[in-house]
Amino acid sequence: MVTHKLNLETEAHDQDIICVNTALPAYVFVFELNKLLGLSLFRCEEDLVPYVANHTFAVYEYNSAVMQQTWRVIENRFNTTIFETENSLFAQSEQRFCLFPELEQTDLLICVNSLSEETLKKITTIGRVVSCYRLPKKFNNIKEQLTF
C-alpha cells in the first residue's frame, strides 16, 4: 500500500529575510523604503531586547491586507559611545553590538513573505545601500528567531 506524506512547514519558513548593509540610520532607510515601494512602515512601540543585553533594537512594521504581506525592518546593530578614562589615547570610542553576531556585516534585516526579485533590485537602488541580499541558508535558524 502506498502512503503519501504531506509536509507543511511553518509560516516562519515562508518569509524571506533580506540582509541590508547601509550607511543610513534605520529611520532614514525606512523612510526611503516607504517612498520607493509605497509602504507605510512605522516604528513599533516595543523594541527587541536580547536576553543578555541592556540595549534595544528598533523594529518597524507594516501590514498590507491588499498585498497580503507583512513587512518588518529590524535593526541588527546598536552603536554606543563610551567615554574613556584619563589614560586613554582618545577621549571617547564607539562600541557596536549586533542582534545576531553571526551577521556582523548586516545593519538591517527586512522580513517579508513572498518578496520578488524585482522588489529586491529596487531596494538596492536606495542611496547609500552597500549590499542587499537574501539570508544565506546556513543561517536559517535566524528565521525561527524572527517569528513574531
State pLDDT tens for residues 66-115: 878 899 999 999 877 777 777 777 777 777 888 898 999 999 999 998 88
Residue 5 lies in a domain: no
At 148 the pLDDT is 60
Q: Is residue 3 part of a domain?
A: no
Q: Tell me, yes or no, whether 115 lies in a domain.
A: yes
Q: Is residue 52 part of a domain?
A: yes
* Cα distances (angstroms) measured from residue 130 to each of 4, 23, 76, 80, 89: 46, 8, 15, 22, 31
Residues 6+ apart with CB under 8 A from 80: 55, 94, 95, 97
In a domain, 146, yes or no: no
* Mean pLDDT for the chain overall: 84
Structural domain total, the chain: 1
* Structural domain range at position 46: 14-138
Within a domain: residue 145? no
In a domain, 147, yes or no: no
